[in-house]
Amino acid sequence: MLDGVPVVAAIFAVVAALVHVYIFVLESLLWMRPRTRAAFGVRSEQDAATTRPLAFNQGWYNLFLALGTVAGLVLARSADPAVRAAGIGGLLLATCSMVGAAVVLVVSNPRMARAAAVQGVAPLVTVAVVVSQGFGG
């Protein structure tokens, strides 16, 4: 137990956060590059230019999910039970949101199952471990 969060959950939460930071970089900073376009199935530079504002915005959502996850982990280490509980709540909110986004991705486009797994498995493990351990109680 890493204070309020089991170690295995904390490890998967950090992995989830890093994946979402990477997605932020791709969507918000590198969207127009050919390798990024290929990774997201964007066929042309014109299509990338058209979707750039959407990708930029979506990238920030991913960064905020990552930051929420990290903030939750930090707060969950508090000696104050109320702060620890708030941290665990924040961690669960962020990681459940990641899982929800992965589900939406695969339901809306089954060909994106691999991408959904990349963005959703680590936060799903985090949620499952934290919940099974009784919220760090």
Q: Is residue 57 part of a domain?
A: yes
Domain of 78 in residue numbering reads as 7-132
Q: Is residue 137 part of a domain?
A: no
Residues in the chain: 137
**Structure token pair of residue 45:** 């530079």
Q: Is residue 22 part of a domain?
A: yes
pLDDT at 135: 62
Q: Is residue 102 part of a domain?
A: yes
What's the structural domain count of the chain?
1
Q: Give the DSSP letter of residue 40.
A: T
Q: Is residue 1 part of a domain?
A: no
pLDDT at 134: 75
In this predicted structure, the answer to whether residue 3 has a pLDDT above a threshold of 70 is: no
Overall average pLDDT of the 87-93 stretch = 97
Number of Cβ within 10 Å of residue 51's Cβ equals 16
Map tokens 């089991």 to a residue. Answer: 6
Q: Is residue 105 part of a domain?
A: yes
